[in-house]
């Protein structure tokens, strides 16, 4: 029975309710829904479910599949996250930015200049004239020549038993008697020596090999 409001108060009026058959919404039992979810999960894992039998409410699984998929998913995420994160960081360009083409070419040009003007005394970063004045970081720091500016200055004007290679190098006795280098070439040499010292003097291709 339902209540209907009128101007004179509340009155009772029979209200026809639809039959249960008219309002019934097709549903599945909890067991059937679990099995359906298991089958869907199994297909994504290459575990196949057998075809339905009977009236559609009985389904058999070829393999036993746990029904707690959320727990399994959380477990996999926890197990796979650390190694996947490590791999992504290892290949990430933020952590390991690739050398630009210009930088690679400058290193090759610096190596070519080094092989032409310096390798006679400083092969592989050493020093056959003054063993304590190598081009490795420890000796460069001890001798106060561990910046590109200082390396440029010493290469240009010379120092001690090392001759200068600059076009305007003076005095004459401190400068090389061989070909002089342009300022841009000495700048490339300074950058190359600094770079090689930081890397421990690995072999560098000059591009002509």
| 91-95, 131-135, 158-162, 179-183: least confident range | 91-95
Q: Is the pLDDT of residue 160 over 60?
A: yes
Average pLDDT value over all residues in the chain: 73
Q: Is the pLDDT of residue 50 over 80?
A: no
- Cβ contact 113:192 at 8 Å: yes
Q: Express each pLDDT in 71-122 by its tens digit.
A: 666 766 666 667 666 655 554 544 444 457 778 889 999 999 999 999 999 9
Task: Assign residue 163 the CATH number of its domain.
Answer: 1.10.760.10
- Cβ contact 61:49 at 8 Å: yes
54 lies in a domain? no
Stretch 59-77: mean pLDDT = 56
155 lies in a domain? yes
Domain count of the fold of the chain? 1
Q: Is the pLDDT of residue 193 over 80?
A: yes
Q: DSSP letter at 1?
A: -
For 172, the domain range is: 101-199
58 lies in a domain? no
pTM: 0.53
43 lies in a domain? no
Q: How far apart are CA 205 and CA 209, in angstroms?
A: 7
Q: Is the pLDDT of residue 189 over 90?
A: yes
Q: How far apart are CA 25 and CA 52, in angstroms?
A: 22
């Amino acid at each position: 029975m339902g209540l209907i409001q009128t101007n004179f108060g509340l009155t009772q009026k029979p209200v026809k309710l639809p039959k249960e058959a008219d309002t019934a919404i097709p549903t599945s039992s909890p067991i059937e829904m679990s099995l359906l979810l298991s089958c869907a999960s199994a297909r994504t894992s290459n575990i196949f479910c057998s075809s339905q039998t009977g009236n559609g409410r009985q389904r058999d699984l070829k393999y036993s599949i746990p029904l707690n998929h959320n727990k399994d998913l959380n477990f996999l995420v926890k197990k796979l996250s650390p190694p996947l994160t490590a791999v992504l960081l290892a290949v990430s360009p933020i952590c390991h930015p690739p050398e630009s083409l210009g930088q690679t070419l400058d290193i090759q040009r610096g190596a070519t200049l080094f092989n032409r003007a310096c390798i006679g005394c400083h092969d592989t970063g050493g020093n056959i004239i003054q063993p304590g004045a190598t081009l490795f970081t420890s000796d460069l720091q001890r001798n106060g020549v561990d910046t590109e500016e200082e390396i440029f200055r010493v290469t240009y004007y010379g120092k001690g038993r090392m001759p200068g290679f600059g076009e305007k190098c003076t005095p004459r006795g401190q400068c090389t008697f061989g070909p002089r280098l342009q300022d841009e070439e000495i700048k490339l040499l300074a950058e190359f020596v600094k770079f090689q010292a930081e890397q421990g003097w690995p072999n560098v291709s000059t591009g002509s090999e």
